[in-house]
Amino acid sequence: MKQLFKPNLSLALVHYPVTNKNGKEICSAVTNLDLHDIARAGRTYGVKAYYVVTPLPDQKVLVERISSHWTEGHGGQVNPARREALGLIRVASSLEEATKAIEKNGEGRPKVAVTTARNAVDMVSHEAFRETIKDGRPYLLVFGTAWGLSPSIIETADYVLEPVLGVADYNHLSVRSAVSIILDRLLSR
């Protein structure tokens, strides 16, 4: 079996600022299954942390409540595998706050790589980014909920990853599927 490289990669799932169907900037609601599915995929591929980004106080409490049920509460006792996964979850008010939290680990400010289902200029292929992150420096891989990350987030990122393309022009994966596929492309053995 091939040796894995140890990535220094964290995930962020952004609920604000994202766009709605009409391109308007909104704050989306946290969903339970985004926490579970993405934490499980993150743990499977060895990501360092999973930042759930929302500025709304009640939504932050919700995330803490769900994750602590599985890390400290009854859920973790009956399902240790789920505890390991949900233990990756951190709450952040903004992407900047997540970036600063990683920087505090002492390895420098992470490079921010955003994902989008749309075409953008200067996109990086998954293959190329897989090579990039082998340098062991910190990276933050960012996904948007709803209809995707706000242009303000995409424009200020260090890298924009190419969309996941299937057949023809159908390009409507759930964020849970997109995270899973991109982690597999970047980090599989």
Q: Binding string, 15-34, against a second copy, x = CB under 8 A?
A: ------------------x-
Residue type (1 letter), 186: L
Q: Is 104 an interacting residue with respect to a second copy (CB under 8 A)?
A: no
Q: How many helices (H) and strands (E) does the chain have?
A: 8, 9
Residue type (1 letter), 130: R
Query: For residues 46 and 84, is the Cβ–Cβ distance under 8 A?
Result: no
Q: Binding string, 77-96, against a second copy, x = CB under 8 A?
A: ----xx-xx-----------
Question: Measured from the CB atom, is 84 or 158 closer to a second copy?
Answer: 84
Burial class (CB in 10 A: 0-12, 13-18, 19+), 117: middle
Q: How do 50-53 and 111-115 pair as beta strands?
A: unpaired
Q: Is 167 an interacting residue with respect to a second copy (CB under 8 A)?
A: yes
Query: For residues 143 and 15, is the Cβ–Cβ distance under 8 A?
Result: no
Applying CB under 8 A, the site for a second copy has a residue count of: 36
Burial class (CB in 10 A: 0-12, 13-18, 19+), 125: exposed
Q: Is 45 an interacting residue with respect to a second copy (CB under 8 A)?
A: yes
Q: Is 37 an interacting residue with respect to a second copy (CB under 8 A)?
A: yes
Question: Measured from the CB atom, is 104 or 172 closer to a second copy?
Answer: 172
Q: How far is the CB of 40 from a second copy (least distance, A)?
A: 6
Q: How far is the CB of 9 from a second copy (least distance, A)?
A: 11
Q: Is 36 an interacting residue with respect to a second copy (CB under 8 A)?
A: yes
Output the six-digit token pair for 149: 């990350």
